[in-house]
Structures are given as C-alpha cells and as structure tokens.
Amino acid sequence: MTLIFAHRGSAGTHPENTMSAFNEAARVGAEGIETDVQLSKDGAVVIIHDEKLDRTTNASGYVKDRTLQELKTFHASFGFKGKWGKEKIPTLEELLIWLNRNQMWCNIELKNTFFLYPGLEEKVIQLVRAYKMEERIIISSFNHYSLVNCHQLAPEVQTAPLYRDGLYMPWVYAKAIGASAIHPSIRAAPDIIIQACLRMGMPVRPYTINKTDEMKRLFELGCSAIITDYPKEAIRVRKGLQVN
C-alpha cells in the first residue's frame, strides 16, 4: 500500500509545521509526517520551513538570528490567522515526544542548503537516538553531502535525497550516497522512473502530491509513499481505489 505522509503536517488545512498540523495528520490517519528543521541562534533544533520568519510567523528576519526563547514568543499560525488560534514554533524534541505517543513515520528534512547550519546533523541524530526513534525516522535534504554525513554518523537511520530535476538511474545514485530511498519532486518522477526504482528495491516518495489525478496515478503504480499537504483527501482517494 502507498503510505501517506502529511507535508509539514497537514499544511493544506492547518498552519504548517505546527503541532496542530501534526495532530491533524494523526487524526485523519496519515501513516507519516514530513517536517523541516533549522538551528536557532543558540543551537536549538527548531521546526520551520523558511530560513526567514516572515511568511509563517508574526516576526521577521532569519531563524538563525533568534534564540529559542525569542522564537517561542512568535505566533506560527500566521497564514491561518483567526482560523486555528495561536501556535508556537515547535522544537524537534517536542515533536519526538509527540511521535513517541503514536506509531507514525517522520521524515525530517534538514533545511541546510541556504545556511549550512554546522552541527545540525549531529544534533538531529543525537535527539533521534535519545528518543529511540531510529526506526521511524527518515532524514532527507537537498544537501546530499549532509545526507552522507548523517549516514556516516548514524547508519541505522534512513536517509533519502530530495531533488527537483531528473536524475539518471536515481536508484544507483541513492545507493552510492548510502540512502535507502529517493524523494523526488513530482516533476522528476515519471512512471518509468518509479517503476524502475521499485523493481530495484529502492522506495520512492514523491512530493508534493496535492492533485487527485496525481494521487491516483501514484497509488495505482504502487509508489512507496506520497508526501501531500492534504492527507485527509489522499486517504479518501486511496480508499476509493482500494489498492493494496
């Protein structure tokens, strides 16, 4: 069965990367969540997508220039103001505590292409190990050097390269960097590539799958998982197809 991973939580319906978005993903029955991490000024691993605070919070400037204490004073539900109440920027530790109360997969994307955030890999792995979540975590990034670093630091934790443009034989590339799956943009995931990966035993989890016809195509192909802003809708579509 194709698993459903809720992108930034249920980002299409709730403020992205907040506990209310993750709770919604669990409530509707998604098998996993995807989320983004960066480092605060004082080195805390925090959950937020953009390097800047401007789009999703009531603050401005870079995440890396604020301490955790400062970040915790901001409202993270900016895009959904008035609909879901106030939300704080979660830490990765808070998310891991939440994950310990369910059985969901968690894809942690390291947001370390714009700023490299030295030490981010070590901190994420230390937290994953501290909460004994090694078997339910997949670390992804557009920074593939960082994924190799993660694999060397913690071979027991799965990694998966994110990419936007077509790769030649991505299953070979993924294996070469020690990754256990690929996370391509939907535009770099034609049927032929997905089928070849699956034949070669390389799981594929494309992003961001929000259109019904794309969901259907991937469910019918038996794709390993999809990453979507609309997990509730994806579950409805998957049920309708009754694919296993």
User: Which residues are known catalytic residues?
Assistant: 7, 49
Q: Least distance from C-beta 190 to Ca ion, angstroms?
A: 22
Q: Using the rule CB under 6 A, is 121 a contact of ligand G3P?
A: no
Q: Using the rule CB under 6 A, is 34 a contact of ligand G3P?
A: yes
Q: Using the rule CB under 6 A, is 226 a contact of ligand G3P?
A: no
* Number of Cβ within a 10 Å radius of residue 200: 13
Instruction: Check if the beta carbon of residue 10 is closer than 8 Å to that of residue 231.
Output: yes
Q: 149-188 mask for ligand G3P (x: CB under 6 A)? A: -------------x--------------------x-----
Residues 6+ apart with CB under 8 A from 195: 221
**Residue type at 161 in one-letter notation:** P
**Which of 207, 217, 228, 238 contacts ligand G3P by CB under 6 A?**
207
Residue 162 contacts which entry, ligand G3P, Ca ion, none (Cβ below 5-8 A, type-dependent): ligand G3P
CA–CA separation, 34 vs 157, rounded Å?
15
- Residues interacting with Ca ion, by CB under 5 A? 36, 109
**Which of 227, 229, 234, 237 contacts ligand G3P by CB under 6 A?**
227
Comparing CB distances to Ca ion, the nearer of 82 and 188 is 188
Comparing CB distances to ligand G3P, the nearer of 70 and 180 is 180
Q: Using the rule CB under 6 A, is 233 a contact of ligand G3P?
A: no
**DSSP structure string for 163-228:** ESS--SSHHHHHHHTT-S-BEEBGGG--HHHHHHHHHTT--B--B---SHHHHHHHHHHT-SEEEE
CA–CA separation, 98 vs 95, rounded Å?
5
**Which of 17, 57, 140, 143 contacts ligand G3P by CB under 6 A?**
140
**Residue 199 corresponds to which tokens in the numbers above?**
């034949």
**Residue type at 176 in one-letter notation:** A
Instruction: Say whether 125 sits in a helix, a strand or coil.
Output: helix
Q: Using the rule CB under 6 A, is 238 a contact of ligand G3P?
A: no
Q: Least distance from C-beta 207 to ligand G3P, angstroms?
A: 4
The residues binding ligand G3P (CB under 6 A) are 7, 34, 36, 49, 109, 140, 162, 183, 207-208, 227
